[in-house]
Amino acid sequence: MESISVLESEATKFFSLPLCEKQKTGQTQPYGYGHKRIGTQGDVGWVEYLLLTTNQDPSLHSFQTLRVALNNYMKSVKKMACEILEMMADGLKIQPRNVLSKLLMDEESDSVFRVNHYPPCPNVQPLSGNGNGNGDVIGFGEHTDPQIISVLRSNNTSGLQISLREGSWISVPPDQTSFFINVGDSLQVMTNGRFKSVKHRVVTNSVKSRLSMIYFGGPPLSEKIAPLPSLMRGDQQSLYKEFTWFEYKKSAYNSRLADNRLIHFEKFAAS
C-alpha cells in the first residue's frame, strides 16, 4: 500500500527532527509527542512516540504531509479492524455481524493512533538468546491494550514479543507486509473471556531502529462494556462487573503498564 510507505517515511523524517521541533505538535499530554515516559505512573521505555486521537485530531498542523498520510492510513486501518471484528462475529456465530464493528464506526468511537520509534539501543551486552542482542532493555513495557482491538504494523525490525500463558516471551517475527492483531481487554469482556487480551512488550534492538504504528479501536466513552447477550447461553453469567468504557479507561490510565487492569472489574477475582 502506497499510503504505508509515505507514512513510514514521513514518520521517520518527523522523528529525526530536533527535540524542540518534535515538541511542536500542538497537543497536550497524553497526546502529541512523547519521549521515554509512558502514561502517568512513572513507566519509562527506550521509545519516542506520537499519540493521537482519531477523531478530528487538531495536532500536527505544521506537519501537513505527515498529517495527510496519517489520516489516509487511519481510514484504511479502521476499515480493516472493522472487517476483522465482523469475521470474529461470524466465527462466534453472533448476529448482527456488525455488533462489534459498529462501536468503531460510531462517530463517538474513542479510538487512538500511535506511532512508536525505537532508536537502536547501543552499548548493551547481549543478555539473552531471544534473537536480538538487547534481551533485557525495554522499549515498551509489558501490558495489555485496554480497547477492543489493536492493529499493529511495523518496519522490518524485531522487538515485539508476546507472553505465553506460563510466562515465557516469544518474539513476533517482524514482517512489514503483515498486520499484527491484538485483542484488547474490552473484547475479552465482551466475549466473556473467550478471546483473551494477550500481554505484549517491545524490547530494543541494538542495531536497527524500529518503527511501529498502531490503531487502537475503542468504543464511545458512554458504551457499556459487558458480554454480548447473544453469546451467553443458558444460565451463563458474566465474569465481569458492569462498567462503561469511560470508567475502564479512567482506571486504566491511572495504572502502571504491567498492572492487571481487568482484575478490578472481575466478579470472581481471587483478591
Contact (CB, 8 A) for 225 and 184: no
Of 145, 152, 210, 262, which lies in the binding site for ligand GA4, with binding defined by CB under 6 A?
A: 145
Stretch that binds ligand GA4, among 16-24, 39-47, 94-102, 236-244 (CB under 6 A): 39-47
The interface mask with ligand GA4, positions 108-127, x = CB under 6 A, is ----x-x-------------
- Provide Rg for the chain, Cα atoms: 19
Helix, strand, coil share (%) of the chain residues, nearest 5: 25, 25, 50
> How many residues lie near ligand GA4 (CB under 6 A)?
17
Amino acid at 167: G
Q: Which residues pair with 118 in a beta bridge?
A: 210
Using the minimum distance from each CB to ligand GA4, give the nearer residue, 51 or 183.
Answer: 51
Of 255, 260, 264, 266, which lies in the binding site for ligand GA4, with binding defined by CB under 6 A?
A: 255
Of 22, 78, 117, 143, which lies in the binding site for ligand GA4, with binding defined by CB under 6 A?
A: 143
Stretch that binds ligand GA4, among 96-104, 139-147, 224-232, 233-241 (CB under 6 A): 139-147
Nearest to 109 by CA among 87, 83, 78: 78
Contact (CB, 8 A) for 175 and 156: yes
Q: How many other C-beta atoms are found inside a 10 Å radius of the C-beta of residue 98?
A: 14
Nearest to 79 by CA among 140, 151, 18, 4: 151
Residue nearest to ligand GA4 as judged by C-beta position: 39
Q: How many other C-beta atoms are found inside a 10 Å radius of the C-beta of residue 165?
A: 7
* Contact between 139 and ligand GA4 per CB under 6 A: no
Q: How far is it, in rounded angstroms, from Cα 82 to Cα 151?
A: 11
* Contact between 148 and ligand GA4 per CB under 6 A: no
The interface mask with ligand GA4, positions 178-217, x = CB under 6 A, is --------------------------------------x-
Using the minimum distance from each CB to ligand GA4, give the nearer residue, 44 or 68.
Answer: 44
Q: What does the DSSP 8-state code read for residue 196?
A: -
* Contact between 262 and ligand GA4 per CB under 6 A: no
**Least distance in Å: CB of 256 to ligand GA4?**
6
Question: What's the grid cell of residue 83?
Answer: 472487517
Nearest to 245 by CA among 215, 216, 220, 217: 220
Burial class (CB in 10 A: 0-12, 13-18, 19+), 162: middle
* Contact between 160 and ligand GA4 per CB under 6 A: no
> Catalytic positions, please?
210
Binding site for ligand GA4 (CB under 6 A): 30, 38-39, 41, 43, 51, 112, 114, 143, 145-146, 216, 252-253, 255-257
